[in-house]
Amino acid sequence: MGVDKLKLAVLISGRGSNLQALIDACKDPLFPAEIVLVLSNRPQAQGLDYARAAGLPVLTVDHKNYPDRESFDDAVHDEIVKNGADLVALAGFMRILTPGFVNKWPRRMINIHPSLLPDYKGLDTHSRALADGKKEAGCTVHYVVPEMDSGPIIVQKRVPILEGDTPEILAERVLEQEHIAYPEAVRIVTDELSG
Ligand code: GAR
């Protein structure tokens, strides 16, 4: 019998490459977490296929079926609780969450963002970094607080910005680091929660 693992709910909206990185990390018997739910707000999210292929419980809570943000967030919260998750990992989840929801998961909800926060909160991070002539870009995993992209930082990874970079090329270089950063952050949070 192994030691109890931290139970992770992963929330996605699309491609799901960070979800796949977490799925791969969980294959290591020594990884301290396991995925108990993959939830998407979009029925067509490609990441749902990765989750199904890994035999994980998947669920769509389509935001279009809810009259407002509060009722959508309540439904998501109920599903996370029902599946027994200890930690919520936002992995390309592109919905703004209400403070009421966020405050139910203090230091128990984390997010990955494709910039070196506090620089470039929000969208189009890579094109903004290029337009500003930055020499470095990267990604951040942070705790989620009600203010968007603003919670305490858990892990950051840096990459150089190179001559001739386009937003797409830079995004690819950063994404490679995201896939390393997210499992690393889950290990750190697990240590913190168990310590
Ligand atoms: C990732 O680059 C992630 O950092 C970003 O969306 C992408 C999702 O890719 N998240 C945000 O911009 C959140 N503000 P994925 O679905 O392949 O993991």
Closest Cα to atom 17 of ligand 1: 17
Pocket test for ligand 1, best of 40, 41, 113 (most atoms within 8 A of CB): 113
Task: Note whether residue 92 is domain-resident.
Answer: yes
Q: What pLDDT does residue 56 have?
A: 98
Domain that holds residue 67: 6-194
Closest Cα to atom 18 of ligand 1: 18
Token look-up 């499992």 returns 183
Q: What pLDDT does residue 2 have?
A: 54
Closest Cα to atom 8 of ligand 1: 92
Task: Note whether residue 93 is domain-resident.
Answer: yes
Domain count, the chain: 1
Closest Cα to atom 14 of ligand 1: 113
Task: Note whether residue 69 is domain-resident.
Answer: yes
pTM for the structure as a whole:
0.97
Task: Note whether residue 154 is domain-resident.
Answer: yes
Q: How far apart are the first and last CA of the chain?
A: 21
Q: What pLDDT does residue 195 have?
A: 77
Closest Cα to atom 2 of ligand 1: 114
Positions marked active-site: 113
DSSP 8-state secondary structure symbol assigned to residue 194: H
Sheet harboring 109-113: ordered strands across? 58-60, 33-40, 6-12, 87-90, 109-113, 136-143, 153-160
CATH code: domain of residue 128: 3.40.50.170
Nearest to 37 by CA among 5, 74, 82, 72: 82
Pocket test for ligand 1, best of 18, 19, 50, 124 (most atoms within 8 A of CB): 18
Task: Note whether residue 58 is domain-resident.
Answer: yes
Q: Which numbered atom of ligand 1 lies nearest the CA of 175?
A: 2
| Cα distance between residue 162 and residue 88, in whole Å | 34
Q: Which numbered atom of ligand 1 lies nearest the CA of 123?
A: 12
Task: Note whether residue 85 is domain-resident.
Answer: yes
Residues with CB under 6 A from ligand 1: 12, 14-18, 47, 91-92, 112-114, 175, 178
Q: Can you tell me whether residue 148 is helix, strand or coil? A: coil
pLDDT beneath 50, residues of the chain: 1
Pairing verdict, β 33-40 and 6-12: parallel
Q: What pLDDT does residue 1 have?
A: 46
Q: Which numbered atom of ligand 1 lies nearest the CA of 12?
A: 16
Q: How many Cα atoms sit within 13 Å of 13 on the Cβ side?
A: 9
Q: Please, are residues 69 and 100 in contact by the beta-carbon 8 Å criterion?
A: no
Task: Note whether residue 44 is domain-resident.
Answer: yes
| Cα distance between residue 116 and residue 153, in whole Å | 10
Token look-up 């903004």 returns 128
Q: From ligand 1's centre to the CA of 144, what distance in Å?
A: 15
Q: Please, are residues 113 and 146 in contact by the beta-carbon 8 Å criterion?
A: no
Q: Please, are residues 15 and 47 in contact by the beta-carbon 8 Å criterion?
A: yes
Token look-up 């809810």 returns 66
Task: Note whether residue 1 is domain-resident.
Answer: no
